[in-house]
Chain A
């Protein structure tokens, strides 16, 4: 049973608009979350993280929101650029562990 779910396999957004990628989790022990971006033929690249003591973390065009009561996090990219077209993975880490549990990814396509 998947503990980290990315229910949208793909998303298309117009350049300049906001991209919102979603991630749901089931394990209430998760307290640290990350987003990775992956281009074809490359490994995942760390993008942004958030600890459960926060509900928002911002880095330039990227903002991650955490809703602990809903067990939901989202990544907002604004404004979206064609270079943002990639697969985005969310990952979660439970309290007291070092393992990350990954989602299956969402493919974002930003249209010029």
Chain B
């Protein structure tokens, strides 16, 4: 068990659809992250939450809207996405947002925009 669970694993949606990605961590961590991984590019940090408060929004377009209702759950709400948003979206958590804290990743949601 990875400790960080993401659903769905795969998602195909049209540009006008609205969908949500879900992440749940069972590790008792206080910080959670959304990353985007496009083909042949490094992981890009999108959002950071610490104790349910958003502390980082890495210049992400407003068509991506995160939500963190509690320290165990993180959502990424999607609407009117573009084809270039097709990518692997990874959720991660760490004990806290501090230094020297390895992040634990989920298995990701493979998103395809038609």
Contact = CB atoms under 8 A, between A and B. Distances in A.
Interface of A: 2, 4, 32, 34, 36, 41-46, 49, 51, 89, 93, 98-105
Interface of B is mostly: loop
Chain B interface size, as a band, is 20 to 34
Interface of A is mostly: strand
Interface in B36-68: 40-43, 45, 48, 56
Nearest to B101: A98
Max chain A Cβ within 10 angstroms of own Cβ: one of B40, B56, B90, B107: B107
Max chain A Cβ within 10 angstroms of own Cβ: one of B4, B90, B97, B105: B105
Interface of B: 2, 4, 6, 9, 40-43, 45, 48, 56, 90, 92, 97-108
B107 A51 contact: no
B100 A43 contact: no
Contacts of B41: 104
A34 B103 CA distance: 10
5 contacts: A32-B99, A41-B9, A43-B106, A93-B99, A101-B42
Contact of A43 (B4, B48, B97, B98): B4
A34 B100 CA distance: 9
B3 to A, nearest CB: 10
Given A41-B9, A43-B6, A44-B90, 11 more contacts: A4-B42, A32-B99, A32-B100, A43-B107, A44-B43, A45-B2, A49-B102, A89-B43, A93-B99, A93-B100, A100-B103
